[in-house]
Chains A and B, each alone.
Chain A
Amino acid sequence: MTATPASVEALLEAVDDDGAVAFDGFRVERAADGYALETPDEEWTGLAADDLADALEPLSDYVTNWRYWQRSVSGEGTARRAFLRWCERAPLEVETDRKTTADETTDEPVATHPSIDAPLSVPERYDALRDGLDREWGQLCLTARLVDDADDDPVGERVYDLWHVDDADSDLADLEVYDDPRDAREIATYDEDGRYRPLKTAPTLPSGWAFTGLSGGELVETVEFFYPATVANWHRELQGTLDVDHWTETAERQTGIYDVLDELPREGVEWMAEACCVDSQCLRRREWEFDEDDELDVDGGDGPFPCREPCSLVVAAARKWTILESEQERTYELELTASEYNQLAALIDAVAEGRTDEIREADVNDGANRYRARYLRAKRFDEEGNLEARRVDD
Chain B
Amino acid sequence: MQALVIAAHGSHLNPDASDPTYAHADTVRETGAFDEVREAFWKEEPHFREVIRTLESDEVFVVPLFISEGYFTEQVIPRELRLEEWDPEKWDSDGTSASQVTLEAEDVGKTIHYCGPVGTHDAMTDVIVQRAESVTEDPDVGEVSASGDAEARRSISDGGFGLTVVGHGTERNENSAKAIEYHTERIRETDRFDEAKALFMDEEPEVDDVTDYFDTDDVVVVPLFIADGYHTQEDIPEDMGLTEDYRLGWDVPSEVDGHRIWYAGAVGTEGLMADVILERAADAGADIGDAVESVREATGLEAGAEPEPNAEPGD
Q: Residues of A with Cβ closer than 8 Å to B?
A: 75, 78-80, 182, 185, 189-190, 196, 198-200, 224, 228-229, 231-233, 236, 243, 253, 255-256, 308-309, 311-313, 316
Contacts and interface: CB of A to CB of B under 8 A. Distances in A.
A308 B107 CA distance: 13
A341 B268 CA distance: 52
Contact of B12 (A198, A228, A255): A198
B46 A228 contact: yes
Contacts of A80: 56
A312 B49 CA distance: 10
Interface in B63-106: 71, 75-76, 79
Nearest to B49: A309
A198 B46 CA distance: 11
Contacts of A79: 54
B207 to A, nearest CB: 26
A243 B105 CA distance: 14
15 contacts: A75-B56, A198-B43, A199-B45, A228-B47, A228-B51, A229-B53, A231-B54, A232-B50, A255-B76, A256-B76, A308-B50, A311-B45, A311-B47, A312-B42, A316-B43
Contacts of A236: 53
Contacts of A311: 45, 47
B245 interface: no
A31 B107 CA distance: 44
Interface string B283-299: 00000000000000000
Nearest to B79: A253
A229 B54 contact: yes
B79 A256 contact: no
Contact of A198 (B13, B75, B107): B13
A185 B53 contact: no
Contacts of B54: 79, 224, 228-229, 231-232
A309 B46 CA distance: 13
B308 interface: no
Interface residues of B, number: 25
B283 to A, nearest CB: 27
B15 A196 contact: yes
Contacts of A200: 44-45
Interface in B23-77: 26, 41-47, 49-51, 53-54, 56, 71, 75-76
Given A75-B56, A255-B76, A229 B15 contact: no
A243 B51 CA distance: 14
Contacts of B22: 182, 185
B13 A243 contact: no
A313 B12 contact: yes
Contacts of A75: 56
A198 B44 contact: yes
B175 to A, nearest CB: 16
A294 B276 CA distance: 47
Contacts of B53: 229, 232-233, 236
Contacts of B107: 243
Given A198-B43, A229-B46, A256-B71, 7 more contacts: A79-B54, A196-B15, A228-B50, A228-B51, A231-B54, A253-B79, A309-B49
A189 B56 contact: no
A196 B41 CA distance: 16
A297 to B, nearest CB: 26
B69 to A, nearest CB: 16
B56 A78 contact: yes
Contacts of A316: 12, 43
A277 to B, nearest CB: 15
B50 A255 contact: no
Nearest to A197: B15
Nearest to B46: A228
B50 A229 contact: yes
Given A200-B45, A229-B45, A243-B107, A190 B15 contact: yes
A366 B268 CA distance: 49
Nearest to B106: A243
Contact of B50 (A78, A190, A198, A233): A233
B43 to A, nearest CB: 5
A196 B13 CA distance: 7
Contacts of A253: 79
B43 A312 contact: yes
Contacts of A308: 50
A313 B71 CA distance: 20
Nearest to A241: B107
B13 A255 contact: no
A320 B174 CA distance: 28
B52 to A, nearest CB: 9
B49 to A, nearest CB: 7
A312 B12 contact: yes
Nearest to A81: B56
Contacts of A231: 54
A189 B12 CA distance: 11
A228 B53 CA distance: 11
Interface in B199-244: none
Nearest to B22: A185
Given A182-B26, A228-B45, A255 B75 contact: yes
Contacts of A228: 45-47, 50-51, 54
A256 to B, nearest CB: 6
Nearest to A220: B54
A236 B107 CA distance: 11
Interface string B8-22: 000111110000001
Nearest to B82: A243
Between A200, A229, A236, the greatest number of chain B beta carbons within 10 A of the residue's beta carbon is seen for A229
A128 B79 CA distance: 46
A190 B11 CA distance: 14
Contacts of B43: 198, 312, 316
A255 B42 CA distance: 13
A180 to B, nearest CB: 10
